Structure 1
Amino acid sequence: MLLNKKLVLLLCWLNVTSAFAQKHNALYAEGLGTGLTGTINYDFRFKDDIITGNFKDALGLRFGVGLSPKYIYDVSVAMHPVATGGTKPLVLLGVNTFQDLSYCKCAGDDIEFGANLLYAPKNSIADKWGTFKQTDRFIPSINIGYRRQKDEYNGIVLRLCYNPYFLDGKLHQWLGVSVGYHFN
């Protein structure tokens, strides 16, 4: 039953992305960043901006998955969560846009802005870095940073972002580095 629901959700997501995503896709691995430990991400533009005609001005969607070590709170070992050797899945959904750094006359050098929501299940990295609540969590974050992605060509994507996230009512400072491939 659960597998059927997941399959239906996946097919719906693929249908929506194929309906809106005409070109300018990116697939990249991010270390640290909005997924906290690291994620594999798929990023696409909905369509070119209707005013400027530029894909960079258009709103984009980001979907990522990652793994977190599994933690338990074991008072016999320590007064804090300890890793158990297992893993927990992390799921990331975000929106973003990026703008040309045209003043430097470097095609493909951009500044990226985004807002994200990370799903972290109980006993994941969120319980290690936040208050150990043993509950599923949704962790909001933003990203502001440099993105290297050529306009018209397939090629390498490089990202370096500042990724503050909000956990247990506190703002945590964080960075992320990404490497991947851009394709039309």
Structure 2
Amino acid sequence: MKRNLALLTLSCLLLSTTPLKAQEETNAAKRSQSVYLEFAGSGCALTVNYEFRLKKERISGLGLRIGAGGLAIDLFGTTSVFSVPTELNYIWGEKTRVSGEIGFSLTYLHIRDETISWFFDEPDCVEKEDLLVSYIPLGIRFRPKTNGLLVRLNAGPVINYSSPNLWSDHAIDPFLGIAVGYSFMK
């Protein structure tokens, strides 16, 4: 009986000093992440984006982002854009709330353009086009060190791999982007 009690006591002692899996997960390193709404920029339209840093416990360094969105403009017809931006970016400035950023994006665009007749309510011409463009943003971001409001401003060239097309007649166009969202560590 004393032997069983000694084994039970020893087992309880060992279990209490060994960290459990749930405790390890709560102590795990957190990753910097952001969710934001961007106008223009890499998405070339209005997009919702998710971004994260590749290294844990860092608010700067290499990161990835993906988004989706669109835009419709109704002037003498309707032009609509569906956009899926993906981007590899780098942020510098670990110890400050204001950081610089540079990136390279590949963005899928589906553009649909309808020209409406002046006399009839039917489209005269409907054009559709699928494009792949790149945006090379250089910008600034205002962000918290842990959780809070994120604001991004950037500018750079859009590289149009199949110009001329419905997007632009030029192979390279200047472009701007602005984004507002929430940045967090999780």
TM-score tier, shorter chain, comes to 0.5 to 0.7
Partner amino acid for 1:64?
Answer: G
Q: How far has the Cα of 1:134 moved from its partner?
A: 3.5
Q: TM-score, normalised by structure 1?
A: 0.65
Q: Secondary structure at 2:153's aligned position in 1?
A: strand
Q: How far has the Cα of 1:26 moved from its partner?
A: 0.3
**2:25 is matched with which residue?**
none
TM-aligned CA distance change 1:96 to 1:83, over 3 Å: farther
Kindly indicate whether the alpha-carbon contact (under 8 Å) linking 1:67 and 1:89 is maintained by their aligned counterparts in 2.
Answer: yes
Q: Could you say which structure has the higher strand fraction? A: 2
Structure 2: 5+ residue stretches without partners: 1-28, 114-125, 164-169
Q: Write out the 4+ residue segments of structure 1 that deviate beyond 6 Å after TM superposition.
A: none
Task: State which of 31, 42, 63 in structure 2 corresponds to 1:23.
Answer: 31
1:31-70 pair list within 5 angstroms = 31-48=39-56, 54-57=58-61, 59-69=62-72
1:100-139 pair list within 5 angstroms = 100=93, 107-123=96-112, 134-139=128-133
CA distance in 2: counterparts of 1:95 and 1:83, whole angstroms: 35
CA distance in 2: counterparts of 1:83 and 1:44, whole angstroms: 39
Instruction: Give the greater-gyration-radius structure (CA).
Output: 2
Q: Secondary structure at 2:60's aligned position in 1?
A: helix
Q: How far has the Cα of 1:148 moved from its partner?
A: 1.1
**1:15 is matched with which residue?**
none
Partner amino acid for 1:155?
Answer: G
User: What percent identity do the matched residue pairs reach?
Assistant: 28
Kindly indicate whether the alpha-carbon contact (under 8 Å) linking 1:56 and 1:97 is maintained by their aligned counterparts in 2.
Answer: yes
The aligned length equals: 137
CA distance in 1: counterparts of 2:141 and 2:44, whole angstroms: 19
CA RMSD across the alignment: 2.8
Structure 1: 5+ residue stretches without partners: 1-20, 72-80, 125-131
Kindly indicate whether the alpha-carbon contact (under 8 Å) linking 1:22 and 1:47 is maintained by their aligned counterparts in 2.
Answer: no
Q: TM-score, normalised by structure 2?
A: 0.64
